Structure 1
Amino acid sequence: MSWDRFVVLHTRVEADLAKALQRGHGLGLSEYRALGELAQVSGGELRMQELAEALGLNQSSVTRLVARLEQAGLTRRALCEGDRRGVYSVITDAGRVRLAEAIPTYERSLDLALEQAGDDPLLSPLVAAVRGS
């Protein structure tokens, strides 16, 4: 039963985050998370497989995701110097700017979504646990 409640909480929060990011910044939630992962690593680049693992996506999903980010100019692909078969996704300056603009929206939307979910007596213990209170 607790797992089912967690799934409900997760689904509600993710839907709110996705709407806010799409409406405010033209980013899907996975796109936002990909930019965040890339921005955190040295050189702003990850192998496609590393990015897939970090996001919990399969290879074909991350390939489509990166293609959308590239088309928007937020990332670019680079070949691995030592292994020409290896392909990296690299965050661009425009990607860093879009991420920086989207972070406050994400954080506000997360706070609001958790606040609203906390009003549900079945979810409030989970919200408290997530917030660490």
Structure 2
Amino acid sequence: MNTEARWLDSQEMAAWTSFIAAAGLVSRRVEQQLKEDAQLSHVQYEVLVHLAAAPGGEMRMTELADCLVSSKSGLTYQVNQLEQAGLVGRRSCPSDVRGVFAVLTEAGREKLRQAAPGHVTTVREALIDVLTPEQRAVLAEGLGEVVRRLRLGSAAPTK
């Protein structure tokens, strides 16, 4: 294994530092808006979104954790919070005693309906409307490739 570092040139460093700053600032703004307007964390909002899109409004916890790029323990905590608020329930998996489904409740659907407009407005203001259509396309393509490679377990570039 080659242990010699390939240092970032000025363009690569600019891309990296811009990504870190933008990701942190957008994330902070979205988190703040959801807490103030809907009393939800961003992860909790995303749980509701994924459950609402799933057949029957339910997903296995392991599948949900994969979708959210969250640890199982972190997701369990968030689902516990949502369950205490009556927005999500749980049920056992009939085919696997270890399996648990998170289930969206009607209150959860309503919370999502109420929270979505403010969330989308914030996402637009913080990111989408700041970029041109061309920049959004490049961003989606580039970050989509990063996600694809990291999910496959390899971030090494192809040459």
Separation (CA, whole Å) in 2 of partners of 1:78 and 1:32: 20
Q: Secondary structure at the match of 1:88?
A: strand
Give the alignment partner of residue 108 of structure 1, picking from 121, 124, 132: 121
Query: Which amino acid in structure 2 is aligned with residue 129 of structure 1?
Result: Q
Give the alignment partner of residue 16 of structure 1, picking from 29, 46, 53: 29
Pick 1 or 2: higher relative contact order, CA cutoff 8 A, min separation 6.
Answer: 1
Map of 1:129 onto structure 2? 135
Written as runs of structure 1 = structure 2, the 5 A alignment for 1:19-38 is 19-38=32-51
Query: Which amino acid in structure 2 is aligned with residue 53 of structure 1?
Result: D
Q: Secondary structure at the match of 1:20?
A: helix
Higher alpha-carbon Rg = 2
Q: Deviations over 1:5-58 (max 9, x none)?
A: 112111111111111111001000000001001110101111111111111111
Q: Secondary structure at the match of 1:57?
A: coil
Separation (CA, whole Å) in 2 of partners of 1:93 and 1:132: 38
| Paired residues of 2:128 and 2:136 also in contact (CA < 8 A) | no
Q: Deviations over 1:43-92 (max 9, x none)?
A: 11111111111111111101101100100000000011222321000010
Map of 2:62 onto structure 1? 49
RMSD: 2.2
Separation (CA, whole Å) in 1 of partners of 2:76 and 2:22: 29
Separation (CA, whole Å) in 1 of partners of 2:30 and 2:134: 19
Q: Deviations over 1:77-126 (max 9, x none)?
A: 0011222321000010000100111111111111121279x4xxxxx68x
Separation (CA, whole Å) in 1 of partners of 2:138 and 2:54: 27
Map of 2:77 onto structure 1? 64
Aligned residue pair count: 126
